[in-house]
Amino acid sequence: MADIKAIKELALYAAKKQVPVEFAQANPSATVADVNDSLRAELKALCGTYQLFRKNKNVLFEIMEETMDEVVPAEVISVVSQFADVRNYPHGAKPEFKIKKGKLRARKFATRATASGVYEAFRLDTDILTIPTFVIGDAAYIDFERFLSGEEDWADYMEALMDGIITAIWKEVYGAIIAGANNVVVGENSTINAGTYDQAELLRIIRKVGAYGAPVIVATQAFVDAMGPDVIVTAAKAGTQAVYAPDDIDAIHRYGHVVSFRGTPIIVLPVSFTDVDNKTEIFDGRRAFILPSNGEKVVKVIMEGGMIVKDWENRDNSMEIQAYTKIGAAVLTGNNWGYYSLDAE
């Protein structure tokens, strides 16, 4: 009989890419790859044939649900918490945020994501913001022949599902921010259809947002690529050639892009696609959002309940594992954040 508790612990370490203490004690040179190999062996023993899968699938789904419930919120919070309030609620709760006005007494609008994919803007007449949740999900196709031959395994399926769910959450947050900028004009804090990047313009917006809290830049990869290293002395002033920030040049060498601008951190949205041909990016365009990272955060994210995993058999007898959860996202629109787009909107 498989030790389900031990498998759950192993799955969690594998998902977090960590080596358990027991592994390290038994083998000081143990790596995350060894943890993954052990997990593969345990899951194959549990569900290595179709008959075993049919018998033990609910146990397998419980392992996957508990692992994703632990990892997915932490992954989301680790990034978006720099500019967003993220909260977990049990199923059936009424997710609400109490809005602290502070300097933002003139703020009147919020934009919420809806289940239909439409983002609704509405007047915020009270200090309470209610955020409805809706289902998002992802699926992984299972090829039992490839599984039995060792070409694929349950750890691969679970990782694919987690990546899909995290990307879906990112997509809703991104959509709500864009809708907030488009539905209610940010005014002096925005520049749209700029065409080419101008560091002086970005600095102007940062200065305005900085009056309401320490700003952070949330940008698409295309926008950050357009930034390049910061010019700290222009060619005209230097007399020969421009002088660039050494830290930016080092960051481009190490990470492929700059990681800050004049002391303002940059969060680069991950490159992900809506299609298997890699033609349509989820986080498209050359866009940057300058958001306050302390005080009242303008982005609100709700995660309701836990992850639910189930199987689905297609008409051709192929099989999918589906995972879904409920989220909600909203953006408060006022004079405390900025938008810089190099493209026509």
Give the pLDDT score at 284: 83
Residue 213 to residue 203: CA distance in whole angstroms: 15
- pLDDT for residue 202: 92
Domain annotation covers residue 217: yes
Strand pairing class (84-89; 299-313): parallel
The Cα 230–Cα 12 span in angstroms is 41
Following CA atoms 80, 188, 100, 269 in sequence, which dihedral angle do they give, to the nearest 10 degrees?
Answer: 0
- Find tokens 């239909």 and name the residue: 116
* Within-domain flag for 113: yes
**One-character DSSP codes across 41-85:** HHHHHHHSSHHHHHHHHHHHHHHHHHHHHHHHHHHHHHHHTTTEE
- In this structure, is residue 144 part of a structural domain? yes
273: in domain: yes
Residue type, 85: D
Tokens of 79: 């990034």
Domain membership flag for residue 299 = yes
Q: What does the chain come to in residues?
A: 345
Query: Which ranges constitute the DSSP H helices of the chain?
Result: 4-16, 21-26, 32-47, 50-80, 144-148, 154-183, 199-209, 221-227, 235-238, 246-255
- Rounded CA separation 158/165 (Å): 11
Question: How many structural domains comprise the chain?
Answer: 1
- Residue 269 DSSP symbol: P
* 48 in a structural domain: no
CATH code of residue 310: 3.90.1690
Distance CA 169, CA 308 (A): 15
Residue span of the structural domain in which 326 resides: 85-150+165-341
Q: Going residue by residue through the chain, which has 345 residues, state the pLDDT in tens, using 9 for 90 and above.
A: 568 888 899 888 888 888 888 888 888 888 888 888 888 888 888 888 888 888 999 998 999 899 988 888 888 887 777 788 888 888 887 777 777 655 554 445 566 556 655 555 555 556 777 787 888 888 877 776 676 666 776 677 777 888 888 888 888 888 888 877 765 445 677 777 778 899 889 999 999 888 888 899 999 999 999 988 887 766 556 566 667 788 888 888 888 889 999 899 999 888 877 777 788 788 888 999 998 887 778 888 888 888 898 888 878 777 788 888 888 888 887 778 888 999 876
Q: Would residue 10 count as lying in a domain?
A: no
Q: Does residue 115 belong to any structural domain of this protein?
A: yes
Residue 148's pLDDT is what?
62
Crossing angle of helices 154-183 and 32-47, rounded to 10°: 110
CA dihedral 279, 281, 286, 292 (to 10 degrees): -170
